[in-house]
Amino acid sequence: MPSGSPLPAWLTRVGVFDLETTGVDVESDRVVTAYVGVLDAGGRQVAARSWLADPGVPIPEGATAVHGITTMHARSQGRPAHEVVAEVTAALRSLFDQGVPVVAYNASYDFSLLACEAIRHGVEPLTDPAPVIDPLVIDKAFDRYRRGRRTLEVVAAHYAVPLESAHEASADAIAAGRVAQALARQFSLPESPAQLHTHQIGWARSQAASLTEYFVSIGRLDPDDALDGSWPVRSPSPHTDSSLSD
């Protein structure tokens, strides 16, 4: 699909989702801020909701340096984590129930962490959300050999998508949605979001296997280890249950 061509009909109304968290471990880290919105065909925000949670644990300085939320601010201004997790999960479930695809950059991180948080707080998790659109997976699949990093900031710049206030949940989510639309204008994506979702499951698995092979070759991973290529939700460990609540 040449650049500038019309979007597929199923990308003219798309959900967008992003979390900012206490860290990068999907099983042990917690939600700090969240955003769920809807974009129109022009990438304009037509519906949105943001959340600030008190995660119930201290926010490490490294995480604060990324998203700007301190422990003191989250405790004084944030809502109880179980309420935020329940509402974010419900908002996403509502979009999926309406058949609206949801874009999340590096979706297996955000959806996996949200699912683990849901289990922790006794909320029914989104164990098989669909259809999900992950611009990171799609970009790697269609432009596999492009050199350089694949952070949202870098990929957004590559597709001429503005991204201000990076690592702020709403800014990241909206930029990811616009990158997904840019990808659809440049490449021939599958004909439906369900087909794209299925393709991404395989692409993510292959990409994880390829990265595992590379990391083993440079000594970054033990030959017996492997990156988890499950997408869009990684299976939680058996100990990730409500007993982990603080």
CA–CA gap between residue 199 and residue 142 (Å, rounded) = 12
Number of neighbouring beta carbons within 10 Å of residue 13? 17
Query: What's the whole-number mean pLDDT along residues 7-24?
Result: 96
* pLDDT the model gives residue 237: 60
pLDDT at 236 over 90: no
Express each pLDDT in 52-77 by its tens digit: 999 999 999 999 999 999 999 999 99
CA atoms within 13 A on the CB side of 202: 4
The residues with which 52 forms a beta bridge, in sequence order, are 33
Q: What is the pLDDT of residue 128?
A: 95
pLDDT score for 2:
40
Any idea what the Cα angle at residue 207 is, between residues 203 and 211, rounded to 5°? 175
**Which residue pairs from 75-78 have beta carbons closer than 8 angstroms and sit at least 24 positions apart in sequence?**
77/52, 78/32, 78/52, 78/53, 78/54
- The predicted pLDDT at position 6 comes to 81
pLDDT score, position 246: 35
Sequence-distant (6+) residues with CB within 8 A of 34 are 17, 18, 19, 20, 50, 51, 53, 84, 88, 169
The length of the chain, given as a count of residues: 246
Q: How much is the pLDDT for 4?
A: 58
Q: What is the mean pLDDT of residues 7-14?
A: 93
pLDDT digits (tens, 9 = 90+) for 182-224: 999 999 999 999 999 999 999 999 999 999 999 999 999 999 8
Mean pLDDT computed over 156-176? 95
Instruction: Report percent pLDDT > 90 for the chain.
Output: 89
Q: What are phi and psi of 133, to 5 degrees?
A: -120, 120
The mean pLDDT of the chain is 93
Tens of pLDDT, residue by residue over 102-151, are 999 999 999 999 999 999 999 999 999 999 999 999 999 999 999 999 99
